[in-house]
Amino acid sequence: MRLTHLADYAVVMMTAAARREPCARLSATDLSQDTGVPLPTAQKLMQRLAAHGLLVGHRGAGGGYALARPVGEITLADIVEAVEGPFAMTVCSEGRTDCALDAHCRVKPHMGIVGDKVRGALGAVSLQELAQ
């Protein structure tokens, strides 16, 4: 029950962005230098965060990314979900039924509820709190 390195990096980068001016243009290079995250990795992460609507990208010279929403409306759950995928405690919660235990499993109906609880715990932490 721990975050992947990519999700950890994403949280660090988003908090670094939250400390800047709102709507400021942030390039992947800028955040890479601020946080220490390797540049190619930072690029890949910002792509995913933009694809999930947490950042908006502006291309071309002078472009970069900007927070899509106010810092109070972006939660830890949003960031983790953008990088790691949906909060499913088990693979069978995602619709996949290729589980060898599926026939005898009596726990499956409860796992969706558990996932929601975990998501609620992370959803209660906003970027504003993380940035102090």
Partner DNA sequence: CCTAAATCGGACTGGAAAGCTCCGATTAGA
Partner DNA sequence: TCTAATCGGAGCTTTCCAGTCCGATTTAGG
Judged by the rule CB under 7 A, the positions of this chain that interact with DNA are 4-7, 9, 27-29, 38-41, 43-44, 46-47, 50-51, 57-65, 84
CA dihedral (131, 45, 50, 115) positive or negative: negative
25 within 8 A of 65, measured Cβ to Cβ:
yes
Give the shortest CB-25-to-DNA separation in angstroms.
8
Does 97 bind a copy of itself (CB under 8 A)? Our answer is: no
Gap between the Cα atoms of 129 and 132, Å rounded: 5
The region of 20-28, 52-60, 63-71, 101-109 touching a copy of itself under the rule CB under 8 A is 101-109
Site for a copy of itself in 57-76 (CB under 8 A): 76
Give the integer Cα–Cα distance in Å for 6 and 45: 7
Spatial distance between the Cα atoms of 117 and 119, rounded to a whole number of angstroms: 5
Does 88 sit near a copy of itself (CB under 8 A)? yes
DSSP-derived letter for residue 111 is: H
- Give yes or no for a contact between 34 and 16, defined as CB atoms under 8 angstroms apart: yes
Q: Determine if 131 is a binding residue for a copy of itself (CB under 8 A).
A: yes
Tell me which residues touch a copy of itself (CB under 8 A): 1-3, 7-9, 11-12, 15-16, 34-37, 76, 80-81, 84, 87-91, 100-101, 103-107, 110, 114, 117-118, 120-122, 124-125, 129-132
